[in-house]
Structure 1
């Protein structure tokens, strides 16, 4: 985990080739002291990292980000409003490369859409 104790995985389920991972964000994490003290916002790069870490957990492989074809930040993830994040992942392995199509939802809203490749 890149950020020590930032989140914990509550559960992961698989349905129709998709992984659904429920993550609990630690809203008192020191990251939020700087981003931002009066209104905490989970940085987009951290959301992207969570997908990478979850993908590594699902595949049992250490991966390196290769490229993103499409990344859209759709809503702010404020842990004081809702500290549960749902990652939906669809993965495809071709040789050593893995492609990910993912959505992150928080407080019932789509927060992030990502299509990325990893090696």
Structure 2
């Protein structure tokens, strides 16, 4: 049981680091979370082994799926409404292509 709490603390610590990084660097939260997660996977996986992160645990798979949905929402919420209204045709075209290409593929 202690192992699960240690893993949860590690993952929450990484999320906190990503949030602080996004505030400090003034970049999108979603981007910083992706970058911190990727770098942590490389560093922690190389130094301590992949088993430390337990990426195949069912609760982590659930949280990663929910996090992917949340990151998608956050990325959309950070759009500037004024710019979006001015360039809605380009945004619509990019959105349709981004949806259709993987869907058809």
TM-score norm. by structure 2 comes to 0.31
More helix by share: 2
Say which structure is richer in strand.
1
If asked which structure has higher relative contact order (CA below 8 Å, sep 6+), I would say 1
Structure of greater Rg: 2
TM-score, reference length from structure 1: 0.28
